[in-house]
């Protein structure tokens, strides 16, 4: 690296020298566990970076490819014995790749799509309400309505057909609990997380501000996200926000945090379920970044007839589904292999149902049930809750 712009400016240039080569990060890295070759693990990539800094090797296409074979799952960060902010380091290296015009084509496609159509798949705003089929009467009254609570769907849940039931489920839950809520509908835009993953972090705050200001103008004080990466992106961006105080003061919750609040307030009533054994998969961002782990477990335990068992590697120690940070677009095969590896953890439990709270995890595991030939139902926590609601409404107060 002759002029390591983003790395140099960040003050993390010395990280490869701080590394003690203990290998903790390599042991937990899902990419290394599949590739089984040191240069694909975090320690190996740090070592290559060191040799680039010392001009012994080049920051070339081959190294960039290795850099992007990473789900930004943050597992390496949490186990690093020398406390290197590896999460930030990998993002900076992606910025470095972008500065050198080496960004992989699928990642470029995602970032250009966001600028063109407001989503990373180039699907477009006209499709953002297809999920609402069958509940148009309810949804029409909620789009851009004044309300204190907003439901932010995110691009996956809005635009991918297999996930539309996640959105419908959250609507059923809010209607059942008597929550006054609003939706941005076709005006909702990508949260901006894929821009971070593409090495273009300067574009993310604009995306967050745009969505958040639109909600603040509707009187929103609490935002519920169907995707923990959207929640995390908003939280980290709004800490640095130059937006209005209404935007900065918003309470930002994952689906399980919000549903747990509704349960605590007595706003959800459940039907007895037919003896289902369930296990919960912690999405990396929920557990490792947002510290959400107790809430989804509490929600599952409050549904009568659902029995919860644990997999190995839970909460902060969770294992990645393989789909984060665009790996499912960069290398779908590797991404699928990582999903299979995590699903094997579930397969040695007696669970017939795997619950999670991330749309990417849900899609990855759905596919892995087929490729592994392992029969287990995969549901988002909103789907499990909506399917278990009683026909009577909850009995708590209606304060949100
Ligand atoms: S963030 Fe996850 S995938 Fe990337 S190097 Fe660290 S452990 Fe491996
Ligand atoms: S855990 Fe930290 S110190 Fe140990 S090899 Fe990985 S980066 Fe280096």
For residue range 48-81, what is the model confidence (pLDDT) as tens digits? Answer: 999 999 999 999 999 999 999 999 999 999 999 9
Q: How high is the pLDDT of residue 397?
A: 43
Instruction: Look up the pTM and report it.
Output: 0.94
Quote the domain boundaries for residue 27: 5-102
Percent above pLDDT 70 for the chain: 95
Same domain, 120 and 229: yes
Specify the CATH number for the domain of residue 284. Answer: 3.40.50
Residue 288 has pLDDT above 90, yes or no: yes
Question: Among the three residues 102, 117, 143, which one is the final residue of a domain in this structure?
Answer: 102
Domain with 63 in it: what CATH number? 1.10.1060
Strands 251-254 and 181-182: unpaired
User: From the CB of 84, is ligand 2 less than 6 Å away?
Assistant: yes
Please indicate, yes or no, whether residues 218 and 277 belong to a single structural domain of this protein.
no
User: Tell me, what's the pLDDT at 399?
Assistant: 46
Same domain, 116 and 178: yes
**51 with 77: CB under 8 angstroms?**
no
Label residue 394 by pLDDT band (50, 70, 90).
low
Residues 243 and 142 in one domain: yes
Same domain? 314 vs 355: yes
Residues 207 and 325 in one domain: no
> Considering only CA atoms, which residue is closest to atom 3 of ligand 1?
70
What pLDDT, in 10s, does the model give residues 362-385?
Answer: 999 999 999 999 999 999 999 999
- Average of pLDDT values for 212-229? 96
For ligand 2, whether the C-beta of 21 sits within 6 Å is yes
| Atom 5 in ligand 1: residue holding the nearest Cα | 42
Residues 133 and 46 in one domain: no
Our mutation pick for probing the ligand 2 site, out of 15, 16, 18, 20, counting the most ligand atoms within 8 A of Cβ, is 20
88 and 163, same domain (yes or no): no
In the chain, how many domains are there?
3
Predicted pLDDT at 393: 59
Task: Please state the rounded mean pLDDT for residues 110-139.
Answer: 97
Enumerate long-range contacts of 8-12, CB under 8 Å, 24 or more apart. Answer: 10/88, 10/92, 12/85, 12/88, 12/89, 12/92
Q: Is residue 218 part of a domain?
A: yes
Q: What's the 24 CA to ligand 2 centre distance in angstroms?
A: 6
Give residue 138's pLDDT band: very low, low, confident or very high (50, 70, 90). very high
Q: Which long-range contacts (CB under 8 A, 24 or more apart) does 289-293 make?
A: 289/74, 289/228, 289/232, 290/228, 290/231, 290/232, 290/235, 290/254, 291/316, 292/228, 292/254, 292/256, 292/257, 292/357
Nearest CA to ligand 1 atom 2: 73
Last residue of a domain, one of 213, 241, 263: 263
SS3 content of the chain, % helix, strand, coil (to 5): 55, 10, 35
Return the ligand number nearest the Cα of 75: 1
Is residue 67 domain-shared with residue 154, that is, in the same domain? no
Residue pLDDT, tens place only, 14-38? 999 999 999 999 999 999 999 999 9
CATH number at residue 200: 3.40.50.1860
Nearest bound ligand to the CA of residue 76:
1
Longest CA–CA separation in the chain, Å: 69
């Amino acid at each position: 690296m002759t002029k390591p712009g983003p790395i140099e400016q960040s003050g993390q240039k010395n990280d490869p020298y701080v590394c003690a080569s203990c290998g903790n990060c390599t042991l937990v890295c899902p990419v290394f566990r599949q590739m089984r070759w040191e240069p694909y693990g975090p320690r190996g990539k740090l070592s290559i970076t060191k040799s680039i800094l010392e001009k012994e090797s080049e920051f070339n296409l081959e190294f960039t490819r290795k850099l992007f074979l990473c789900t930004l799952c943050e597992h390496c960060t949490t186990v690093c014995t020398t406390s290197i902010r590896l999460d930030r380091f990998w993002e900076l290296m992606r910025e470095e790749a972008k500065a050198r015009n080496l960004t992989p084509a699928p990642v470029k496609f995602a970032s250009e799509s966001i600028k063109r159509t407001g989503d990373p798949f180039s699907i477009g705003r006209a499709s953002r309400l297809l999920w609402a089929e069958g509940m148009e009467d309810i949804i029409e009254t909620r789009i851009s309505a004044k309300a204190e609570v907003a439901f932010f769907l995110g691009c996956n849940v809005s635009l991918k057909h297999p996930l539309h039931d996640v959105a419908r489920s959250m609507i059923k839950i809010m209607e059942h609990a008597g929550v006054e809520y609003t939706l941005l509908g076709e005006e909702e835009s990508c949260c901006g997380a894929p821009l971070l993953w593409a090495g273009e972090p300067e574009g993310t705050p604009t995306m967050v501000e745009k969505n958040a200001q639109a909600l603040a103008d509707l009187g929103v004080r609490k935002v519920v996200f169907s995707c923990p990466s959207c929640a995390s992106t908003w939280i980290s961006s709004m800490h640095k926000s130059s937006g209005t105080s209404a935007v900065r003061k918003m309470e930002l919750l994952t689906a399980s945090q919000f549903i747990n609040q509704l349960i605590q307030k007595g706003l959800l009533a459940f039907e007895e379920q037919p003896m289902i054994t369930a296990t919960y998969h912690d999405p990396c961002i929920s557990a490792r970044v947002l510290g959400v782990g107790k809430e989804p477990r509490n929600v599952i335990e409050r549904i009568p007839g659902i029995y919860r068992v644990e997999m190995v590697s839970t909460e902060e120690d969770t294992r990645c589904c393989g789909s984060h940070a665009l790996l499912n677009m960069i290398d779908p095969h590797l991404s699928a292999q990582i999903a299979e590896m995590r699903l094997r953890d579930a397969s040695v439990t007696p669970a017939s149902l795997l619950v999670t709270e991330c749309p990417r995890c849900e899609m990855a595991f759905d596919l892995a049930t087929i490729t592994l030939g392992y029969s287990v139902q995969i549901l988002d926590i909103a789907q499990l809750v909506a399917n278990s609601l009683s026909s009577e409404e909850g009995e708590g107060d209606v304060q949100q």
